[in-house]
Amino acid sequence: MLDAVRLLSAGYCTHMEAMSRIGAPWRSCRFPSGFALLHHRRHGPILFDTGYTRYFADETRHFPNRLYAFATPLHLQDSETAAEQLARAGIAARDVRHVIVSHFHADHIAGLKDFPRAAILCSLAAWQSVARLRGFAAVRRAFLPGLMPADTETRLRFVDECSTAALPRAMAPFDKGWDVFGDESVLAVELPGHASGQIGVVVSSGASEPVFLIADAAWSHAAVRDCSPPPRVTTAFLGDTATYRNTLRKLHDLHRCNPALRIVPSHETPP
């Protein structure tokens, strides 16, 4: 059972908006690095992704990783990291026992080292797609192995191993998710295409309506509303264009059928 869901962000990068959505203008745009803090009655604070940290800057100082920072320059105050924001809310990093990773792009995992006691929850496919990547092959996939804690292998938990639960009919065409904590408070949903094995989560707190955190399955609500994907060059570079567009179409259909549902991309400031 979740008592609260807080949508936060830790830093941002800049990139051409036109590369994020067909029809968007050719201008530099801010992409906040979103994460969510879930308060679980039994498991305590849980993170969905981590946003940026200074580790990203450290890891991208030299070639070839520097290419990543060149493509998406980082803007971050030290006070903006997830760990710092949690500390100000009275939550110690050691009390975070679960970090759900939507996918292993560096802007989603840069804070993992700040939460040394947390299990790292992800899909098996997401981890297998990056686990052996190093050097240029890694940065080419937006993965920086140096961001992973040294004891990652012992902390990984795969959501695919959780039992599945039916999603409410109002979530159609999505029909099932992995019940991450066994109480249907956090249901992990496959959202492939942007990156291998990417997941989103449907989170429900108390009496409030569920929220669908979709990570990078879309980079803006406008993209979901209009079913307007990034240009092919972007999705082909990062993942698989046909799969991406199929996932985006499902999100678009969900939004059309259930316009009141909050669908939250990682890289757009929540309204």
Which positions touch Zn ion (CB under 5 A)? 105, 216
Nearer to Zn ion, 21 or 105 (CB): 105
Instruction: Report d(CA 58, CA 114) in Å as an integer.
Output: 14
Instruction: Report d(CA 215, CA 101) in Å as an integer.
Output: 9
CA angle (269, 160, 208) in 5-degree steps: 40
Min separation Cβ 201 and Zn ion, Å: 15
Nearer to Zn ion, 80 or 216 (CB): 216
Min separation Cβ 88 and Zn ion, Å: 27
Min separation Cβ 49 and Zn ion, Å: 10
User: Taking the C-alpha atoms of 163, 109, 208 and 204 in order, what is their torsion angle to the nearest 10 degrees?
Assistant: 0
User: What stretches of the chain show up as alpha helix (H) in DSSP?
Assistant: 54-59, 66-71, 82-88, 106-109, 124-130, 135-140, 152-155, 221-226, 232-238, 241-257
Min separation Cβ 142 and Zn ion, Å: 6
User: Taking the C-alpha atoms of 37, 39, 42 and 46 in order, what is their torsion angle to the nearest 10 degrees?
Assistant: 0
Nearer to Zn ion, 39 or 140 (CB): 140
Instruction: Report d(CA 226, CA 249) in Å as an integer.
Output: 10
Min separation Cβ 102 and Zn ion, Å: 8
Nearer to Zn ion, 39 or 221 (CB): 221
Residue nearest to Zn ion (CB): 105
Min separation Cβ 193 and Zn ion, Å: 11
Nearer to Zn ion, 167 or 263 (CB): 263
Structure tokens at 146: 């140096």
Nearer to Zn ion, 43 or 105 (CB): 105
Contact criterion met (CB below 8 Å) for 252 and 227: yes
Contact criterion met (CB below 8 Å) for 161 and 127: no
